[in-house]
Chain A
Amino acid sequence: MNLLKAEWNRLASRRFTKMTLLVLVGGLLLIAAGLFIGNQKISESDWAAARVRAAATTTEMRDSCQRGTPDSNGPGRNCDVIEPANPEWFLPSTFAFRENAEPLVAVFGGLMCLFAFLVGSSFIGAEWSSGGVANLLLWRPKRAPTLLGKYVALLTGLTGVFVAVGAVWTAILWLTARFRGNFDGVTSGYASSLGLTWLRMLALTLVIGTVAFAVASVGRRTAAALGAAIGVILVGEVGVRILFAGLFEVPQYERFVPSSYAGAWVLKKLEFADYTKCSGTADCMPQGWTLTMNDSAAVFGAVVVLALGAAFWSFTRRDVT
């Protein structure tokens, strides 16, 4: 418990943590300001104005059709098939909680993942570079519990930040809907689904934080995690797409792209079309396949186990020189 308290204290006292948190909160506030300024509540007069504009547009479209225009299809065209314009098209932008909350929770989760990556990697990486780990082991020679203490401090710290900032983000979304939008269609079922999205984003944040922490611990510097991230992007995102999709036409190549699993995790499932069997045929229907969040959970679980296993093995076995 002493170690955990000390590590919480260390994590919270680090300037890098404070600065990154400040940037995260600043980014979220900017988005929130944009949402608040860019949306407004729809009043009856807005509806009336929209209906007038829709009717005028419909008339204009039909008149234009009947007059004929240089790009029209010539005599005999049936201008009655022109659908009347929808008044909703002419309403000012409004914040519909049901449509917008889930994507914005995902945006929050994405920023939290970045925060977790930076803080997780530097929390152990900077300690290694500065000699802090050696210093700590002179006080706590049991290596595995020491690393576990740091890891638990990181996980609980990230969870605390996620919950605290997430609560503020939820309040912002609620307030935006309350004063600049609506709660149409928000049912208890939707609220449950949104709650589960929050939980999935929390899990993804902790996975990213864990992997960054583990890689930086194995590499003994923060840059190890940054290098690994660049490697994953270059190889997993760019290289795999070029080689597997472009050159070798590997079926369901998206299975080898890390971001597919992140996408499936956030959206519950991702649907893909496999065109590899359609080569040379014009009327071929591509074979559809789905990546589910269960697939993502299995991959994330395996990555976390491997990364943590390597980190603990390396921390307990290697010399601290």
Chain B
Amino acid sequence: MTAVIEIEGLRKTYKGVFGGEHRALDGLDLSVTAGQVHGFLGPNGSGKTTTLRTLLGLIRADAGRMVLLGREVPAALPEVMDSIGAIVESPQFFGNFSGRKTLTLLAQAGGLPLSRVDEVLATVGLTDRARDRVKGYSLGMRQRLAVASALLKKPRLLILDEPANGLDPAGIREMRDLMRDLAADGVTVVLSSHILGEVQQICDSVTIVAKGRAIVSGPVEHVLASQDRGEYRVRVDQPLLAAEILTEAGAQVDVHDDGFVVRDLVDPSWITRTLAARELYVAELVPLRPDLESVFLTLTDSVDQQVGIR
């Protein structure tokens, strides 16, 4: 599979006017394969926006190598930029320009036919409000206008920083459908977001960053599997006795008010066999599979703790 984005060892330190320093990127690696929807996740201040801005030539990296659509950037940005649509953070627009005017100016600057403006307005569902001033738009409408501006170029690669910000549930769903449609048309979508449930639903692969470094990357199911601790919640008539029996048998058990959880288990039938041998019968045995949110929190917390220990 071809990589449309390859980043190796990206470093960026912001230097303050009065000598302070903030290391935003600390050797970040990222690889995104063509045709995928890739989630780029991380807590606030983890370096997501700096990475995207650096990739798009808005910020100069201190070190590292970046390849976009097979070309080294920032040197080749002018050649590849025609194939990339992007929004970085919540873009602001001139409030007194209409949505159509805003897009027309960009289309004009990019030498695109003005017919594209109406096409993308229709794609993001803003045709009816195209003549209204942007200052009358809701946050969600501005977000859709931003996505429309990114789609003007018919991009092969779409980079969206927090595209669901400010959208209501219906808007989020529309955005999700839009991204799926784009991916189905062969557009690679890189999406940074805090809405992890959304990311899990629409992304093929993810990269989670913390403290300026990628801490895990790969297909969503692999990332989830990598954090699967083999946990099962057990409900039984005498939970304390059952927990004691399983602990004696060598299991890792955490007791809770409503039952207990067995960790690091490969074969869940071992629980039923072991308890049945002591005439205790399992009422409920539920595998606890990690979701993206729990993986995200676990991994980013562990990085915070490592940094704290150091």
Contact = CB atoms under 8 A, between A and B. Distances in A.
B: contact size bracket: 20 to 34
Contacts of B58: 134, 137-138, 319-321
Interface string A181-218: 00000000000000000000000000000000000000
B91 A141 contact: no
A135 B111 contact: no
A6 B81 contact: no
B110 A14 contact: no
A7 B149 CA distance: 17
Contacts of B96: 14-15
B92 A141 contact: no
Given A6-B105, A134-B88, A321 B97 contact: no
B59 A319 contact: yes
Contact of A9 (B53, B77, B93, B105): B105
B189 to A, nearest CB: 16
Interface in A265-321: 317, 319-321
Interface in B26-62: 53, 56-60
B109 A2 contact: yes
B100 to A, nearest CB: 11
A136 interface: yes
A2 B110 contact: yes
Contacts of A142: 78
A192 to B, nearest CB: 41
B94 interface: yes
Contacts of B88: 134, 138
Interface string B70-96: 000010011001001010110111101
B111 A141 contact: no
Contact of A6 (B56, B74, B78, B108): B108
A141 B94 contact: no
A5 B153 CA distance: 18
B106 interface: yes
Interface residues of A, number: 28
Contacts of A137: 56-58
Nearest to B109: A6
B86 A136 contact: no
B171 to A, nearest CB: 21
B86 to A, nearest CB: 5
B284 to A, nearest CB: 52
A255 interface: no
A132 interface: yes
B176 interface: no
B94 A132 contact: yes
Contacts of B77: 141
A321 B105 CA distance: 23
Interface in A127-143: 129-132, 134-142
Contact of A139 (B53, B91, B104, B109): B109
B93 A141 contact: no
A10 interface: yes
B101 interface: yes
A139 B106 contact: yes
Most buried by A among B58, B74, B111: B58
9 contacts: A2-B110, A14-B94, A130-B92, A132-B92, A135-B149, A138-B56, A138-B81, A140-B109, A321-B14
Q: Which 8 A-B pairs have the closest CB atoms?
A: A6-B108, A6-B109, A320-B58, A141-B77, A2-B111, A131-B92, A319-B59, A15-B96
